[in-house]
């Protein structure tokens, strides 16, 4: 179980960081969402993974740590609010700048620039 869990968190984080480094706001927002999923799973695991362990006293023989669950709950709420904000901000930026690039302008493609200069030379 631990291996699969760790693998999932790792994949989510990698994908999240990859997407955050892209140039368009949409992929960046998706990347941030994936990152927050990864973080929530990771926080949950910080109290050790345990099967059939209740977090409330008197419910079972084995107990699991209740604090990470509280932390994850807080992190989910905050992450949700932040995602909502960044979605609205991305739409606002799309409207203000006229494109969805994070820098507000789409950089010229090197190949396009080359062909343009070729034309000028020709």
Partner 1 sequence: MSHLPILPILLPMLAAVLMLLPPLNNSISRHRFFSMGVMFLLIIASASLLLTSHEQGTQVYVLGGWQPPFGITLVADRLSTLMVLLTCVLGLGAQLYACAGDDKDGMYFHPLFMFQIMGINGAFLTGDVFNLFVFFEVLLIASYALLIHGGGKQKTKANVHYVILNLVGSSIFLFALGILYGTIGSLNIIDMATKVPLLDEHEQALAKAGGLLLFVVFALKAALLPLHFWLPKTYAAASAPVAALFAIMTKVGVYSILRVHTTIFGEDAGALASIVIPWLWPLSLLTITFGAIGVLASPNLRLTTANLVVVSAGTLMLAIAMEREAATSAALYYILHTTLVTGALFLIADLISEQRGKAEDRYVMARKMGHSKVIGIAFFMAALTVVGLPPFSGFVGKILILQSAHGLVEIMWVWPVVLIAGLACLVAISRAGTTLFWRSSGDAGAVEPLSKLKLIAVSMLLIASPLLVVFGGPITEFTDLAAAELHAGPAMLDAALNSAHEGGKQ
Site for partner 1, rule CB under 8 A: 16, 20, 25, 28, 32, 35-36, 38-39, 42-43, 45-48, 67-68, 71, 74-75, 78-79, 81-82, 85-86, 89-90, 92-93, 96-97, 102-104
d(CA 93, CA 29): 13
d(CA 54, CA 3): 22
Smallest separation (angstroms) from partner 1 to the CB of 122: 37
Smallest separation (angstroms) from partner 1 to the CB of 37: 10
Closest CB to partner 1 among residues 73, 114? 73
For 3-16, give the DSSP string: HHHHHHHHHHHHHH
Under DSSP, is residue 63 helix (H, G, I), strand (E, B) or coil?
A: strand
For the chain, how big is the Rg over CA atoms in Å? 22
Closest CB to partner 1 among residues 33, 114? 33
Closest-CA residue to 31 (of 99, 94, 102): 102
Q: Which single residue is written with the structure tokens 């706001």? A: 25
Closest CB to partner 1 among residues 89, 116? 89
Smallest separation (angstroms) from partner 1 to the CB of 42: 5
Smallest separation (angstroms) from partner 1 to the CB of 57: 14
Closest CB to partner 1 among residues 8, 90? 90
Whether residue 101 contacts residue 25, with contact meaning beta carbons closer than 8 Å, is answered with yes
């Amino acid at each position: 179980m631990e291996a699969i869990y760790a693998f999932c968190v790792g994949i989510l984080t990698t994908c999240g960081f990859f997407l955050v480094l892209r140039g368009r706001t949409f992929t960046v927002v998706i990347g941030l969402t994936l990152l927050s999923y990864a973080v929530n799973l990771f926080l949950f695991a910080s109290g050790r993974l345990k099967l059939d362990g209740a977090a409330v006293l008197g419910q079972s023989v084995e107990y699991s740590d209740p604090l990470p669950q509280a932390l994850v709950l807080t992190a989910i709420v905050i992450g949700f609010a932040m995602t909502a904000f960044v979605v609205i901000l991305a739409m606002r930026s799309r409207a203000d700048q006229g494109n969805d690039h994070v820098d507000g302008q789409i950089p010229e493609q090197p190949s396009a620039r080359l062909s343009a200069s070729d034309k000028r030379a020709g």
